[in-house]
Amino acid sequence: MSGARARKPTPFRVLVTGGAGFIGSHLVEGLLRQGHRVRVVDDLSTGRRENLAHLDGGFELVVGDVAEPEVARRAVSGMEAVLHEAAVPSVARSIASPLPSHRAGATATLVLLEAARLAGVSRFVYAGSSSVYGNTPRLPKREDATPCPLSPYAVAKLAGEHYVRVYAAVHGLQTVTLRYFNVFGPRQRADSPYSGVIARFITDLSAGRLPVIHGDGRQSRDFTYVDNVVHANLLALGAPGLLGQAVNVASGRRITLRALLQALARETGRPAAARRELPRPGDVRHSLADLSLAGTLLGYRPLVDFETGLRRTLAWHQSAAPAYADALRRDVEAGSTGERPAGPG
């Protein structure tokens, strides 16, 4: 894991919201590896206890909705830093159902910032999204471009960014937004049309189904292996000069969906064929990050390249994913989704 390579930092008490999700569970792993004390808060709506099972409970779990002020207050109590990952991370889902997307993306961010301020938390690192850029024509995307969100999801993520910036300016909280670009890796869900494209392609290819490409497949993405995102967050925990800036976190290379499918077909020995469907509303055409600010502000540069990340993700799907899918099914059958109210898990 990337974080293990960094210098051993001063241990902090860190809250990870959405810590039972895909990215959140990797963050918990990276934090524990560096010796930090970790609390997770998650409503288990898309996250799963199974994502954290391998960590043997070396952290505290609070189950609840962080848009509820009382849950947020309990979650931040005694914490020094917050890594805020909780959201409903899907463009398509936000178009079908915008209010939950807004509540989890924007409202929850404000509720948490306020709780963090009142509790004396010193640092707040927010999971932003490259979707805030929309189809801004200039590539690579630089943080000083005027945002142009194309979906309710992106609007909510942008609203969260503004709150994060304002809490630094008005209250002196050390805050930063990390704008993630198309993150992929082990434990990313592949079981719904809202899942990330790499997880869906791998699952379809392994099952002998044709992956679906929306549009002509020439759209491109800056696919970012999850260890790079963990690395950026760990750097943000210790970086000086956090004043609410928004910073790209990516790999700095763009890959078309066609090229992605070809790479996966090569690795799996399956044909690189796909079923074409209409382009999806709200999807951006091209995405590529400029990483200069991430370098100067955080000392970030990607540690794991796309090909290595893809091979690690495939290896996980081939080995751990079947047992993981069984465990998820048991998890769901046991009714551990969307538990409320908050309480230690």
Ligand X SMILES: NC(=O)c1ccc[n+]([C@@H]2O[C@H](COP(=O)([O-])OP(=O)(O)OC[C@H]3O[C@@H](n4cnc5c(N)ncnc54)[C@H](O)[C@@H]3O)[C@@H](O)[C@H]2O)c1
Instruction: Write out the residues near ligand X by the rule CB under 6 A.
Output: 17-18, 20-24, 41-47, 65-67, 85-89, 104, 108, 127, 129, 157, 180, 182-183, 196
When the beta carbons of 246 and 271 are compared against ligand X, the nearer one is 246
**C-alpha–C-alpha distance, residues 50 and 327, integer Å:** 7
Residue among 36 and 157 whose Cβ is closer to ligand X? 157
Nearer to ligand X, 270 or 283 (CB): 283
Minimum CB distance to ligand X, residue 147 (Å): 14
Compare residues 50 and 85 and give the one whose CB is closer to ligand X.
85
Three-state secondary-structure class, residue 128? strand
Contact 183, 196 (CB under 8 A): yes
As a whole number of angstroms, the distance between CA 338 and CA 328 comes to: 14
Q: How far is the CB of 200 from ligand X (least distance, A)?
A: 12
Q: How far is the CB of 94 from ligand X (least distance, A)?
A: 10
Token pair for residue 186?
Answer: 């082990």
Token reading at 218: 């020439």
- Measuring CA to CA, which residue among 11, 13, 9, 38 is closest to residue 26? 38
> What is the rounded distance in angstroms from the CA atom of residue 104 to the CA atom of residue 166?
19
Task: Output the CA torsion sign for 331, 333, 337, 343.
Answer: negative
Measuring CA to CA, which residue among 94, 82, 100, 104 is closest to residue 131? Answer: 94
Closest approach, Cβ 19 to ligand X, in A, equals 7
CB of 41 to ligand X, least distance (A): 6
- Of the candidates 126, 153, 225, 300, the residue annotated as catalytic is 153
Residue bearing tokens 């993981």: 324
Q: DSSP of 145-158, one letter per residue?
A: SPP---SHHHHHHH
The CA R_g of the chain, rounded to the nearest whole Å, is: 19
Q: Does the annotation count 153 as an active-site position?
A: yes
Q: At its nearest, how many Å lie between ligand X and the CB of residue 226?
A: 8
Nearer of residues 96 and 273 to ligand X, judged by Cβ: 96
222/284 Cα distance (integer angstroms)? 12
Q: For ligand X, which is the closer residue by CB, 126 or 167?
A: 126
78: tokens are 């005694």
Gap between the Cα atoms of 159 and 243, Å rounded:
17
Minimal CA–CA distance to 59: which of 88, 81, 99, 31? 31
- Active centre residues (catalytic): 153
